[in-house]
């Protein structure tokens, strides 16, 4: 991958600064446009995302994509009112325009002078996903070779496997969040996932089995201990097992018996209220004998 499409291994705050000039000064100016007047709080969220997808079906590449998305949003709070504004161009002019729009939504009664941003410095935090190589930085030919191996392993599991569909998706997302309280924090979230689907056929019947896995890991995690081979065999095993599956038996239905006149009378007697329950209370000095 070229550096123009894939972020380097630097921290998110440094990446946004070098790529878009989104430094501390720009953050202060953008948030300062939101503050002032009746605005109680404001924050800014910026994101840069790289997505890749590769799929193989019947031994042929069916899909290969690489996409980049970016943007920033601002939020303004004034009492119980909230204003949002978004821009897909991360620049000072666009952020300033989005800041004015968010402020106008949260404070529609009129414009107010800009406010001041508190200073607290960067929140370095800790690196939750310290990877040597991001999944999107793995070579495309290596991913394609892996999918072809999975196709061969699944078909070799049983001759009844007639089709194999396998795909790998990877992502690298960088975010920066700045608040009017003065906090600035960044995060980087890599992701990789492998999916395998096998279709088995026998005597005109077709069944399917699927398996996969992934996480915020390196691409090499799929190769460790031949984890990809286990995924392929498990998907094939499920497809073959489903060929012997039987439909659940339907519950037996009992036809209602016709009701005779004697049963109808007995039913009315059983449900009738006790004698005297609805009658008037007895007069004083008289007794009622119930049977």
pLDDT band (50, 70, 90) for residue 291: very low
pLDDT band (50, 70, 90) for residue 130: confident
> CB–CB of 42/86 below 8 Å?
no
Lowest mean pLDDT of 11-15, 90-94, 210-214, name the range: 11-15
Query: What is the average pLDDT across 174-190?
Result: 91
Give the other-Cβ count within 10 Å of 176's Cβ.
Answer: 25
pLDDT at 236 over 50: yes
- Note the pLDDT of residue 122: 52
Residue with tokens 């503050």: 35
Higher pLDDT, 243 or 278: 243
Q: What is the pTM of this model?
A: 0.72
Closest CA to 139 of 17, 20, 24, 2: 2
For residue range 144-166, list pLDDT tens digits in order: 999 999 999 999 999 999 999 99
For residue range 31-83, list pLDDT tens digits in order: 988 887 788 999 999 999 999 999 999 999 999 999 999 999 999 999 889 99
Domains of the chain: 12-243 (3.30.2290.10)
Task: Give the total residue count for the chain.
Answer: 291
Q: Give percent of the chain above pLDDT 90.
A: 56
* DSSP H helical ranges for the chain: 12-20, 24-34, 92-106, 140-157, 227-243, 261-271
Closest CA to 70 of 95, 42, 34: 95
For residue range 17-28, list pLDDT tens digits in order: 999 999 888 888
pLDDT at 6 over 80: no
- Note the pLDDT of residue 273: 58
- Note the pLDDT of residue 284: 54
pLDDT at 123 over 60: no
Q: How far apart are CA 26 and CA 96, in angstroms?
A: 9
Closest CA to 115 of 99, 98, 94, 101: 99
- Note the pLDDT of residue 128: 79
For residue range 254-271, list pLDDT tens digits in order: 767 666 666 665 665 555
| Average pLDDT, rounded, for the chain | 83
Q: Counting beta carbons within 10 angstroms of the beta carbon of residue 147, is it exposed (0 to 12), middle (13 to 18) or buried (19 or more)?
A: buried
């Amino acid at each position: 991958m070229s550096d123009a499409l894939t972020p380097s291994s630097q921290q998110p705050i440094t990446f946004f600064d070098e790529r878009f000039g989104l430094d501390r000064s720009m953050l202060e100016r953008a948030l300062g446009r939101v503050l002032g007047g009746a605005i109680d709080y404001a924050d800014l969220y910026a994101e840069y995302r790289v997505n890749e997808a590769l799929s193989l079906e019947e031994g042929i590449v069916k899909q290969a994509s690489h996409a980049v998305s970016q943007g920033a949003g601002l939020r303004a709070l004034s009492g119980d009112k909230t204003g949002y504004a978004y821009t897909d161009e991360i620049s000072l002019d666009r952020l300033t325009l989005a800041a004015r729009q968010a402020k106008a939504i949260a404070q529609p009664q009129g414009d107010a002078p800009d406010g001041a941003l508190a200073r607290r410095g960067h929140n370095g935090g800790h690196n939750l996903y310290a990877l040597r190589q991001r999944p999107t930085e793995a070579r495309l030919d290596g991913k394609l070779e892996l999918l072809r191996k999975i196709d061969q392993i699944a078909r070799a599991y049983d001759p009844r496997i007639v089709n194999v569909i396998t795909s790998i998706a990877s992502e690298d997302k960088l975010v920066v969040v700045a608040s009017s309280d003065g906090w600035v924090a960044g995060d980087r979230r890599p992701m990789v996932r492998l999916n395998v689907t096998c279709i088995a056929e026998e005597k005109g019947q077709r069944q399917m089995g699927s398996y996969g896995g992934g996480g915020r890991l390196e691409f090499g995690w799929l190769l460790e201990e031949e984890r990809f081979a286990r995924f392929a065999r498990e998907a094939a095993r499920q497809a073959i097992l489903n060929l012997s599956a039987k439909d659940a038996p339907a519950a037996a239905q009992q036809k209602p018996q016709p009701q005779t006149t004697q049963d109808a009378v007995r039913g009315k007697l059983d449900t009738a209220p006790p004698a005297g329950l609805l009658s008037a209370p007895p007069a004083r000095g008289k007794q009622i004998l119930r049977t």
